[in-house]
Structure 1
Amino acid sequence: MGKIFLQMPCLSESKTYTDRQIHEELFDKKSDYRYLESSIQTFLDINIDVFDFAGIHAEVNGSGKSISIKFISGGYVGAVPVRMPYDGVSRKDIQIFPRFENQKDNYSELFKILDKIDYSDELEYMNNRYLNLPFQLKPPIYNEAMEYIRLFEEASRYRWRKFENIKNMLNIPSGGTDWNEYARNSYDPKKRLEYPSKRNVLSINHKEWQELVYVLELACEILNDQAVPVDIRLGYQRYFKTVIYNARNIKPEPVKEISFHAKDPDCIKRLKKQAVIILHKNSTTCAAWRMDMSKIFERYVQYLLKKSTEELAGREYNNPKIHARGDRMRWGLKYLEPDMVSVINNGIVFEDAKYKSHLYSYNSDSELLKETFRSDLHQIVAYCAFEPADNKKGVLFYPAAEFRKYETLFETPLSSANVRIFLCGIPFCDEAEEETIVKLKEIMA
C-alpha cells in the first residue's frame, strides 16, 4: 500500500469515502471491518493534534455499513503524518497544497506571489511528528534559500562585528606577547627583535560571519539549480548582486553546525535559524510543517489595494488600530484592527480580506458558510461605523477562480445613513494582477 493517505488543495473538500473505501484505501484492509465505526473514532482521536495543526476537519456521517467520511481542509498548506488505528503508528502522510485554479505547479505560483509582495511567511514545524515521505513532501528548499538570502541582506546592513583574536609580529613587546614562542626563536639574531603577539581586533570578518557567508553560497547554488522555476530564478538575480557584493571580502568558512548565542542580535538569530535549515537540506527526515495562506492572501490584497489607491491619488493604511477607551472588561477588546483602510477624495473605505472558500462554493447552501459570512459581514459593517458620511462603503475580499463583484446596499428607515458592501472575489494568481487592479479602481473611485 502507498504512504499517501490523502492529497488535496486547501479550502476544499475531499471525496466522500464509503465504508469499503475506508477499510481498503485508507486503512489498508488491516482494521477489523466488523468494528469499522470504532476504528474511525480511534483514528480521529489519535490524530486530533495533527488535524488541528493542519487545519483539517473530518466529517463522519451514518453508522454501521452506511458510515462515510470526508475531509475538509482549511487555510493551511503543508504535510502531516497520520497514525493508523490498527497499531497507532504513523504510516501515511496527508499533503495539503495551495489552491490555484489555473496552475500546475502550485508552489511555483505561490512563491512568485511571495516574491512580488516582498513577504516571507515563516514555516511552522511540528517537531515531534515526522513525515514518512520526507523527500517528496518536505517544503520546496528554494523557498528556504530565498528566505536566507533576504535575511542575509538584512543582516549585512547591520554590520555585525565581533572581537577576533589575531596573531602577528611586532617590533616591540606588548601585553599579548607570546614569550614562550619568543624564547624558542630568539636564539636567531635576526629574530631577536621580533615579538609574536596576539591582539583582539573588532572586525566584521570574524569566524561566525564567515560561516554564514558559506551558507550564503549554498543558498545561491540552490536558487541557481535548473529545477527551480525560471521566473523565481531570474527574479532573485537582483538579490544575488547585492549580497555577493556585501560579502566580497569575506572568506567562506565551511561549517556543518551553526552555534547560537543569547547575545546575538535578533537579525543574526533569525539568519542562523534559517542557516540550519539550509545546512540540513539533504536530511533524510522532515517534521510535519504548515504555512498559513490567510496571512499571504491578506498581504496580497494589501499589495493590490496599495497600487490601485496610489493610482487614484489616495492613501492606503494597512492594519490600523482603532483603540477603545472607557469601561472595558478583562475579556474586552483593547482595539479593533481592520485589514486595510483607503482614504480617497476625503472618503473612507474599510476593507477586510478573508481566506475562506465562500466564492469557491458559490452555489453551496451550507449552514457553515452562512454563519461564517454573517460574522464577516457584521465585522465589516461595524468598521464602516467610523465613516462620518451617511453613505458608507466597505469591501470584503475572498479568493476566487476569477474576479467577481457583488454589491449589496443596507438601508434603515430610522435614518438617512446606508452602508454599501462590496463582496469581491480576488483571483489569487500572478497573471491576473493588472486586470484585478483596474477593477478595484472602479470600486474604490
Structure 2
Amino acid sequence: MPLVSFSVVKQAGSCMSRSGIIAFGRLSTRSAVVWDTGRFRQWKWRDRSMESVMQRFVALNRTNFQFLGINAVVETRNCKPVVSLTTSNYAGAIPLFSPMSGKPAGDLVVGGSYGEKIDDLIPLLGDSLDKQCNDAMRLVNDTPVNAPIYVECCKYVDLYLEARRQHWHKFANVVKTQHHPSSATLWTEYALRTASDPLQKLVYKNKCNVLTTDHIEWRKLNYVLALALHELQSTQVPLSTRMIYAGRIHSLLITLRNSELVKTSILPVEARDPLPIKKLKQLGNYILNNKTQEKMAWRMDYAQFFERYVQYVLRDVVTRKGGVAVSNPHYDVSMRQRPQWGLACLEPDVVLQKGDVQWVIDAKYKSHLYNWYDSGEALKDAFRHDLHQVLAYCSFNPMIEKRAALIYPYSTFTVHCMKLYSSVTRASASVYLVGIPIDRSMIARIESHLAQLIDFSR
C-alpha cells in the first residue's frame, strides 16, 4: 500500500464540451479530493437545492464509485455543500451519471499518485496486468484498456441467431450428377470416366448454380461462431455470463456438428449484404482480430501495475546480460499445523540469476524517495518492513555477499546503496534503493542505467 499523504484539493468546476460530455478529470490513487458547487453548476437544479443535487449525484453513482474503491460523501464546508472523494489503491475509469437525467455525463479516471501517464504502458504490459472490467458500466470516452473479447462473442451469438432467421440465400456453384448434358458439363472428366467404364455414358457431371443457405460465406460465419462459442466456454468469462448463455451455446454447438466450417481471417462486408449480415460480419472481424469496440469501466491494483512494470524492464536488462529473470517465484512455507495467520509461501517480485550470482528485487509503489528528508514514523516503519522482507528473500541465497534492490517510483533514475554486515557469519548484503520513472519514453534510459547497476560478477 503506497504511503502517500492525503492531499485535499479544491477543484474548479468542470467544463462541458459541445457534445454535452463533462470532463470530470483525473484523480490520483490514495488521495482525497473535494468537489465544490462549481463542479455541478452546469446542471439546472431549479427548485432543488445544490445539496440535494449532490446527494442524488452520489446516490446514482454509488455502485460506480464502489467499483473503483472510491468513498464519496456529501459534506458541509464553510457553510457550503461539497462532495468529498477518497480514492483507494485502484486505478481505472468509470462513467458518472447526471443527477438530472440519470444518463452518462462523462468519465472519471483514476491514475497514479505522482502524475505519471500510464496510457502507453498498459498496452505494452498487456496480459501480465490483472485488469478487471465491468460490462454493466460503459464508458463515454476512449480508454487504453480494451474490453474482454467475450463481450463481442456474446453479441455475435445473439446476432447470429437473428441472422439465421433471415435465411440468407446465395447462389453457389456446385457439381451435380445428372442424366443429360448441359453447357456446363465437365467433358474432360466425362471422357476419362466413360473410357474406363462405358456404362457411365448416360451420367454427366454438370456445374449448376443453386440458391442455398449453406454457401461459403455462411460457412465462414460458422467458423467465427465456433471461435465465439469456444471463448464463451472459457473460465475467463464470468460465471453469470456463462450461465445466461449456456442454453444458446449448447444448441449452437449441436448445429455446428453437422455444419461445414471455412477458416478465414477476414469477413468482407459487401454493400448488397442484408443489414443483420453486415453487423454480424463486423462483429466477426472484431473477434478474428481479437479486438473490441466496447468501452467498459475497468480497474487494476496500481501497486501490482508498478510491479509488472519493473519486471518488464528488468527482464530486458537481464536477457541482454545472458541471465534469467524469474517473476514471482514461490518459496513454500511448510508447517504441520499452520495457524490462520500463517504464510503458505514467500514471493519476491523478481529474482535475477546468472550462474551462482543472484539478485533479489522487490518493487514498492511507495513515496519513500519523494520524501527523502521526511523523518515521519510511518515512513520508517514501512521501510523497515520492506528491508526485512527483501532480506528474508535473500536468506534462500547461498551467496556470502548477497545482493538485493528495493525499487520505488521517482521522477528520475536514482540509486542509493546500503551495506549490511553480520559479525557472526561474516555474511554481507548490498541493498540498493532504486528510483525509476514510470514513463514509456524513458524505458531505454532506465534499462541502460539498470544494466550498469546489475552486476553478475562474483
TM range (shorter): 0.5 to 0.7
Q: 1:169 to 1:46 in 2, by over 3 A?
A: closer
For 1:251 and 1:44, locate their aligned partners in 2 and report how far apart those are by CA, in whole Å. Answer: 45
Mapping of residues 289-438 of structure 1, within 5 Å: 289-290=298-299, 293-329=302-338, 331=340, 332-344=342-354, 346-360=356-370, 373-410=383-420, 416-438=426-448
Consecutive unaligned residues of structure 1, counting only runs of 5 or more, are 149-165, 172-181, 213-246, 261-267, 281-285
Normalised by the size of structure 2, how large is the TM-score? Answer: 0.56
Mapping of residues 133-172 of structure 1, within 5 Å: 134=140, 137-140=141-144, 144=146, 168-169=174-175
Structure 2 letter corresponding to 1:110: L
Q: 1:79 to 1:253 in 2, by over 3 A?
A: same
Q: Report SS of the residue matched to 2:280.
A: coil
Q: Report SS of the residue matched to 2:36.
A: helix
Q: 1:360 to 1:273 in 2, by over 3 A?
A: farther
Q: 1:350 to 1:120 in 2, by over 3 A?
A: closer
Query: Who is 1:23 aligned against?
Result: 37
Q: 1:302 to 1:355 in 2, by over 3 A?
A: same
Query: Who is 2:253 aligned against?
Result: none
Q: Report SS of the residue matched to 1:257.
A: helix
Q: Report SS of the residue matched to 2:359.
A: strand
- Cα deviation, 1:301-354, whole Å, max 9, x if unaligned, reads 223223333444433222222222232537444332222101246232211223
Structure 1 letter corresponding to 2:435: G
- Cα deviation, 1:283-315, whole Å, max 9, x if unaligned, reads xxx442335554553333223223333444433
Query: Who is 1:257 aligned against?
Result: 280
For 2:428 and 2:74, locate their aligned partners in 1 and report how far apart those are by CA, in whole Å. Answer: 43
Structure 2 letter corresponding to 1:54: L
Q: Report SS of the residue matched to 1:51.
A: helix
Aligned length: 343
Does structure 2 retain, via aligned residues, the 8 Å contact 1:4–1:94?
no
Percent identical residues: 25
Q: Report SS of the residue matched to 1:379.
A: helix
Normalised by the size of structure 1, how large is the TM-score? Answer: 0.57
Q: 1:189 to 1:444 in 2, by over 3 A?
A: closer
Q: 1:252 to 1:62 in 2, by over 3 A?
A: closer
| Cα shift at 1:207 | 1.0
- Cα deviation, 1:110-137, whole Å, max 9, x if unaligned, reads 36xx44x675747532222344xx1xx2
Query: Who is 2:198 aligned against?
Result: none
Q: 1:125 to 1:345 in 2, by over 3 A?
A: closer
Give RMSD over aligned pairs.
5.1
For 1:381 and 1:59, locate their aligned partners in 2 and report how far apart those are by CA, in whole Å. Answer: 42
Q: 1:64 to 1:101 in 2, by over 3 A?
A: closer
Q: 1:334 to 1:122 in 2, by over 3 A?
A: closer
Q: 1:43 to 1:366 in 2, by over 3 A?
A: farther
- Cα deviation, 1:143-192, whole Å, max 9, x if unaligned, reads 759x99xxxxxxxxxxxxxxxxx974265xxxxxxxxxx6xxx5x45576
Query: Who is 1:207 aligned against?
Result: 220
Mapping of residues 86-235 of structure 1, within 5 Å: 91-97=105-111, 107=119, 109-110=120-121, 114-115=123-124, 121=129, 124-131=132-139, 134=140, 137-140=141-144, 144=146, 168-169=174-175, 186=179, 188-190=180-182, 193-194=203-204, 206-208=219-221
For 1:59 and 1:379, locate their aligned partners in 2 and report how far apart those are by CA, in whole Å. Answer: 37
- Cα deviation, 1:50-104, whole Å, max 9, x if unaligned, reads 334324456999867388766455555432134577998765531235688687x
For 1:364 and 1:209, locate their aligned partners in 2 and report how far apart those are by CA, in whole Å. Answer: 64
Indicate the structure (1 or 2) with the bigger Cα radius of gyration.
2
Q: Report SS of the residue matched to 1:95.
A: strand
For 2:389 and 2:287, locate their aligned partners in 1 and report how far apart those are by CA, in whole Å. Answer: 38
Does structure 2 retain, via aligned residues, the 8 Å contact 1:100–1:428?
no
Query: Who is 2:164 aligned against?
Result: none
Does structure 1 retain, via aligned residues, the 8 Å contact 2:31–2:88?
no
Q: Report SS of the residue matched to 1:325.
A: coil
